[in-house]
Structure 1
């Protein structure tokens, strides 16, 4: 039996947790896996368990002193000198505080993304999904934005060094994929495309359209910073046009995509007003491009997403179903009111603090229309034109 896609996952990845009150809550992994299993769409033979990344793999992206500091702060009782140095490395903030076991669990997250690359580049499967990954904000010597090690950057560097691959990185998180951008800002063998809410109002404040790469890599960094309250049609119009042009120009060997699902209207940490429609449409677009340009080679990672009940399980499940060409995707297309499994809803509703949606897609007809829709669309089209300025 041929496996069209492998699902990289180990329950230990849910241990990537800063504290009980932190918005980055990996219970969303448990909810997603349980939803897929309730649909009988996640067979055991499709699941691969990752091992921790080696230090030498981490050091391909991160500085030695940073990795050393992460290890020291991972102890049950870190020494006072390490604690005093934590601020220098961005590991004492409200967003990214150090926690016990941090190095071990984050190394395993990185290992999952490395395994995804090896699975695809070795020809074992065309696609691989690692939802525990997508920690795109970590810099070479600093943690940031809920991210300790940058698994996406390490995986891309591995694809380059081990397989000689040209990599197109696509970041659909509502927050700019800054850590990956800066990792490859001068590298002509990696093209980064990030669609996100403008940094004028949202962390990390970067991702302007004029950040285009440096030196011989000029033009391989593409940002699409969109206006707050952007809705589905404008978001997808901008992404599709830029991606089609970028991939045709760059001609990658591998696509690595990051699937933060925090551009949804329900997400508490952003101002974009998209629905579940984009989380059906974006994987479909990337899937088509992977087969058209990369012989199907596609590694997908998780990312942000802070409405862990109503948004993340549906969005990430749709991604997995698309990667497998599962017939349920066609059913959702034909019937936007298609119901989620009743067993899954019954299991989790008592624990969920809000009413769970009962359908795969949102009934946007019931949503209050966004004011300034036309003005926002026009501003986004102007940004799209600027983003495409150096694309043929």
Structure 2
């Protein structure tokens, strides 16, 4: 089969043996595979992560000196199935799969390990237990968005955001746009999106953002409605505390009133829920410094380099930092069905398609935020440019 191999930061179409399914596995003919931002970074900087992943017990991540077939956002058609696979996966069924596969005595990250070749190929192996039939005749190009949309779904769920909250999305690349789509599907009333790129701000509007901000011109924090903006300085909060206590102390049994109001969450200052979707060094400390007091920051952008922050700043402001990664099998399945049922619209993310011989060109094109967000690979296509 044809596949795109990455070795020493070079992408090249190569011939590889057709994969064979082990027990409980499927071989899929790849219909579409999305190019992820982590793929772009891993092409040139994979070695930055290998030591860290080794520390958490995974030594088989991408390395620059070992050829790897990337691609973990794929939709395919069942071509072959191994022993023990259920009848729902008959040949010809269109499916998406969680990018984990058993191989070489372990479980590996599909498309992010040389031991688990991914979807930048004509065929890919998937675990039947982690594979889901695409319902309602959903287009493969949209079905392939299940994986990145599941990342966003997991982040939004972990934030515990409500419809009455204001969401702030910093960075409108594919990750930020997916978060906006999921916030919109969740019914969040006000979504503020921030990005330097006019093209990405336009895509943010298409995905459901209510307010878009160019951070070179204005602060996205100032765009949050005043009643939910929160406090930006300690003296204002202290003054509110003293003033409130002066009023409460005039009431008999004031502590019971205070306790009842506190149990309802009404004593905490209003603040937006901030989704950091940029993932570059320095961004996190900047957000902590600019965010209102008691802000919740959900870190979705995957920073692959070392970073630093000021713990004292986060402590004084009582910042709630929540880091998110991946998704559960149920979130993956539910995201697929939201796309298929029309409850989630991710179509704005897909801005181009190439064949295998166009992958290197697509990587270059994705460096320009004004032109592309998500480029899909169609192994059957002869297109060499998106």
Which bin holds the TM-score, normalised by the shorter protein?
A: 0.3 to 0.5
Whichever of the two has the greater Rg, that structure is 2
Greater fraction helix: 1
Greater fraction strand: 2
TM-score, normalised with respect to structure 1: 0.34
